[in-house]
Amino acid sequence: MDGDTVRVRLRRPMQSGGRGRKESPRHVSGRLEGEVIEVVARKKREFTGTFQSDGQKSFVWLDGAKLARPVSIGDVRGLPLENNDKVVVELVKFPDEFQPGEAVILKVLGSMRNPAVDTTAVMIQFSLPEEFPEAVLQDARAQADRFSEEVIPEGRKDLTGVPTLTIDPVDARDFDDAISLSKNERGNWELQVHIADVAFFVPVGSVLDEEARQRGNSVYLPDRVIPMLPETISNHLASLQPDRNRLAKTVFMEYSPEGVLLHAEVFNSVIRNAYRFNYEQIDQYLADPQPWAERLSPAIFQLVRDMHSLAMQLRQIRKRNGSVELTLPEVKVDLDKLGKVKGAHVVHHTQSHQMIEEFMLAANQAVASWLDGLKLPFLRRAHAPPDALKIRRLNQFIRALGIPSEQMEDRFEIQRVIDSVKGKTTEFAVNYAILKSMSKAVYQCEFERHYALNMSHYCHFTSPIRRYPDLVVHRIVDKLVQGKQAHENTEALEVLG
């Protein structure tokens, strides 16, 4: 089962073309091959699943277990069970190649047709916590008492008078990031990316911190969000809400008129979000700005226009430098008032999304480059080049579709192929095939370029409300801006990632 600890025996595959000749246990694909000879330890024994009965025998299909057969269930008399009910079971005998396995029912959740039951089953399956412990909520309230909107704390730049805005999904409840942009007397762009200062509200080692660390990130389900932090912080005090003074970490970047980064720095600030946009509103503005001229202040109206101009310039430069950008549809499920699925729609990656994406990429890169320049260990977001075998298979797939291509080892060729299938029936198939050929991005302290972005230094900094690794980087930045030593333990950092 997924997550079990096992003992394996390595196989020695025959070398192709060499009768009787053996090679080392490493297969020519670069992977190790072997067979499981013993299960040393089980990761878990409790599972969710769907109950079925034919009147004589009862069994349960386990969720996410990838088993060819269901597990059998003993006596279920007295239990309020119907076919297709979701249940929680404990495996008393694990399945093998000869036996289907046996389980006992611990809890009946209800009909799988009930959306709330389905969500509960998913939460149990992935061990997602439903509520925060009272001690964590008390800690959150205690941290909230430290904050006053009326006071600009010492050591923070007062940016409350700088025109600032946010752009988020229409249903967003927490606002991680805000943007300010202007031109200085030299004609250069001054971009300020403000990120919610979660570190202020979550002291290292606190009960609140331990809970956030255990959760690792917020989880977004169709009908609810399971936040990393209590709503007192995530949706209120740390969130960059409009017309409220909020604490932030600001990444200041100066660009030439040609889009060349000239200077970057990071500091603590207090900001005031003047306007909360959603993506659809920005797209409407870009399509026809005139109606918005009457709704917005001149400063915010110009800010949106300037943001679009700089973001599109940075995007062109990034693509010209070899950044690989896949076109993958994001499908959002539409629910009715009862939580039942009534449809779905594709979330298109429009220019409004691209604007925020470019500024977040720029901020993450700037922070990583700054920390690297100081020779400090920090959590990088690394992305290794794709495996050679996967690239060969990708080449075969692309050519089988009749798409002219050179060797796909070259990032520029990969992007050329992506661009060549835009709007065609093969677009998503090609993009998914390229995605499957890519390595997975990881958190690590060791230097490694980010292959897809083609960046030497990159980290996650811009989503500390919903991602713990970002909070880890924020704390390193905090030490630096406060003039403290920031010699982090590499091994401890990678555990946090």
Q: How far is residue 307's CA from residue 303's CA, in Å, rounded to a whole number?
A: 6
In 3D space, the residue among 292, 246, 250 whose CA is nearest the CA of residue 268 turns out to be: 250
Surface-to-core class of residue 346, CB atoms within 10 Å of its CB (0-12 exposed, 13-18 middle, 19+ buried): exposed
Over the Cα atoms of the chain, what is R_g? 26
Distance CA 49, CA 112 (A): 10
pLDDT of residue 31: 62
Give the C-alpha separation, 78 to 209, whole Å.
Answer: 44
pLDDT reading at 17 higher than 50: no
Q: What are the tens digits of pLDDT across the range 141-166? A: 999 998 999 889 999 999 999 999 99
The model carries a pTM of 0.88
Helix/strand number for the chain, H first, E second? 14, 20
Measured CA to CA, the distance from residue 426 to residue 429 in angstroms comes to: 5
Q: How many Å separate Cα 394 from the centre of its chain?
A: 25
pLDDT band of 35, cuts 50, 70, 90: confident
Among residues 174, 189, 188, the alpha carbon closest in space to that of 359 is found at 189
Q: Which of 10-24, 154-168, 214-228 has the lowest mean pLDDT?
A: 10-24
120-142 confidence digits (pLDDT tens): 999 999 999 989 999 999 999 99
Kindly write down the DSSP assignment for every residue of 35-83, as one continuous string: EEEEEEE-S-SEEEEEEEE-SS-EEEEETT---SSPEEE---TTS---T
The rounded distance, in Å, linking the Cα atoms of 306 and 438 is: 35
- Give the CA angle between residues 341, 344, 345 to the nearest 5°: 160
The 10s digit of each residue's pLDDT in 444-467 is 999 999 999 999 999 999 999 999
Provide mean pLDDT across the span 185-208.
Answer: 97
Question: What pLDDT does residue 495 have?
Answer: 77
DSSP 134-150: HHHHHHHHHHHTT--TT
Would you tell me how many other CB atoms lie within 10 Å of the CB of residue 495?
10
Q: Diameter of the chain by CA atoms? A: 83
Residue reference for tokens 């080892």? 409
Helices (H), 296-409: 298-320, 351-373, 388-400
Q: Rounded CA gap, 270 and 151, in Å? A: 9
State how far the alpha carbon of 333 is from the alpha carbons of 4, 75, 252, 341, 344, in Å. 33, 38, 37, 7, 4
According to the model, what pLDDT value does residue 19 have? 44
Total count of residues recorded for the chain: 497
CA distance 314 to 19: 56
Q: Which CATH architecture has domain 46-125?
A: Beta Barrel (2.40)
